[in-house]
Amino acid sequence: MSDIKLHVVFFDGLGSNHKETKKYMEYFCEALYQYRKELDSKQMHDIQIIGHAHKYPKAFQNYNLYLIVSFVLLGMSIVSPLMLYFIPITLIPLSFISLSCISLSCLLLSIVLIMIPFIHKKQDLYISSIQEIEQLIESGVKPEQITLFGHSFGGAVILKVMRYFADKDIKLGDAMFTSTFSSFEKAVKNYPIPQTKLLPSFLLKIFNLDFNPSDDIKSLYSENKLIPIVIINHTNDTLIPRHIQLSTVTRKLSYNSSIIKIPYVEQDSTYCHYNNYHNDILFNRCLLQAFPSSYFDNIKYMEHTDLESVMPADF
């Protein structure tokens, strides 16, 4: 029997470095292969798992740098008014106006700066992988052999990829979401930096950032174009709190459980590798157990998972 190649296209979150993402995919695909081999060594003898790391625009990859500069500007907006204490009384009226303008400008720039990486048209966030997937299909890879894997903001992006191919009547294999929000607007408001609290909602529309994964899933499902998906959020994730998690919102709706699987994931902090529940999910064994693929026989989706029982000493 000729080898079957399962292609996994991974979309990481904000500020992801492409080299690190590629390295993670090598690690993940090897771990997934070994896990499936433990379950069925004969089956895995005929299957290859090939990872692909989505490449975002450079500005998006350097998002952390924009955050740093944004905080510097925010600090300047706070410090500027304090300069009045060092100015002669006779110059205070004029200086007050000048320093107020400087402070307000720094504050506005600190808010706008965190949006600059998104200035690219929305399609630029996912066009590179659309082209790569199209090349794979043109080379003879069957669409059902391609699985999309989106983490955090990457989950919102893969839904745009799913919509692109659904509109072309091309049905990909499966998709998996980890630590993804139900609405980008709500996620931004919960982001733990002061600038986002001041961010007007209309700016998200101006920058074409009205990502709403929950609505995207609902739309694809209603059109009978939704491929099988697995949604995983950690109940203790503080970056994406439970009430805005994609799994929480989706679980409330009456979807066909054979199409949408939502494992219930929680764990004690003892089992959190990096004390970061949002990203720790990428290194948990539950990811291997829940990973969807029509090429894996007898795949076991978890309706409830206690990670204490499945978390290995190392992935």
Tens-digit pLDDT profile for residues 152-164: 999 999 999 999 9
pLDDT at 311: 35
**Could you report the per-residue pLDDT of 168-199, keeping only the tens digit for each?**
999 999 999 999 999 988 888 887 777 777 77
Cα three-residue angle 228-146-235, rounded to 5 degrees:
50
Q: Which of 83-87, 104-108, 182-186 has the lowest mean pLDDT?
A: 83-87
In DSSP terms, 176 is beta-bridged to 149, 230
pLDDT at 310: 37
Best CA proximity match to 130, nearest among 165, 87, 178? 165
Q: Rounded to whole angstroms, how far apart are CA atoms 126 and 114? A: 19
Taking 70 as the threshold, does the pLDDT of residue 229 lie above it? yes
pLDDT at 259: 83
CATH of 4-57+121-310, one of 2.20.25, 3.40.50, 3.30.70, 1.25.40: 3.40.50
pLDDT at 193: 76
Average pLDDT of span 118-141: 82
Are 177 and 265 in contact by the 8 Å Cβ rule? The answer is: no
Best CA proximity match to 9, nearest among 124, 169, 141? 141
Average pLDDT of span 268-280: 62
